[in-house]
Structure 1
């Protein structure tokens, strides 16, 4: 039975979520369509550009993404604290980047002074917009509707582009977050669409690797107007310092872990496979076999909530449920 979105997204439990959406009838509407021999890879770039734009407007950060031929994956972090610190004008500026205004707000911006009754209505409107600007459902609405309309216009047709509403998984602990990100970044390799992380087009891991290589090339000779960054500015950064606004891992550890995982889950991949497990597995006390199974079967292993047994049980009890898939 379909469950209400407010029962699936609980920011008190976790700010991290894995979301998935698939094209209607699982058609190849974002890649190379074998039936009509048309290539729609440019639409994947539409998605990436739109995702990053929305992340700059919403208080929602991108931890990982993979844009496949007929579906996409995102790992999102909701930063509710940032929204609470925004002024009224900042909320208005952000909302107006996406939607038409409101006559009361327009009048407030032009004239400033309003009656007491009008100010009550204005504050109520702005509070509503503030709440929507950290709402994953509104984020996905702004993403999917935009892409759907643009693709239908290109195809000169009408009708559904997406199969249905997006699916989500709450990532309750660090292990769930790490394995889900690796699962997302390794999608092209598991699907046989790429042979290495660097060849995994339209993924966050490829973007992170490119940015790191660019940093290595330019760090000793920066231009006056260009200062290289180790990590992409449009993606949630890695850090081992405990910063709540960053991923709680070292990016070097993450690269090592995803590369090691990719070599083990793809038996056809050439090259030497090291017997040395990445040290991050030891740090998080993760069994290597269980890790590889999770990276290959993350979507099947868990339902709408993903995490360790005790976190799943606690979350189920908090939501009045007997259990969540993955406990056993």
Structure 2
């Protein structure tokens, strides 16, 4: 039994959180993230096509989301749920622990901008500036660069 979502071994939420924290901090490219085999969370039911959406990468079954909410809302919902007491439930997240986004060092506004503008903010590599700055391309040996706005968002998350 785990006290936090981050400690809930062998779950998709643990993998998603690892990707948000460790992979981001280590500057891991999107295609090598720890959760790249998981379908995205968010689905736009109004404009999304009906039916399956087979993955273009072959790393997962579908590239289609499964809930009409953002990953941030999904994590907050899981966090809220884990804090509830219910008959037959073996445990709950301690009330004195801060919410999951606070534990990850993100405020909701920063998180929303990072998620909604991910492709624009990060072209080749994603991660905190202090992790990306020393990295060099294996092919060209040039340093990776983060866009100024990505740098600002990830610096204020500290």
Q: TM-score range by the shorter chain?
A: 0.3 to 0.5
> Which has a greater percent of strand?
1
Structure number with bigger Rg: 1
Task: Using CA pairs under 8 Å that are at least 6 residues apart, name the structure with larger relative contact order, 1 or 2.
Answer: 2
For normalisation by structure 1, the TM-score amounts to: 0.21
Higher helix share: 1
- TM-score, normalised relative to structure 2: 0.39
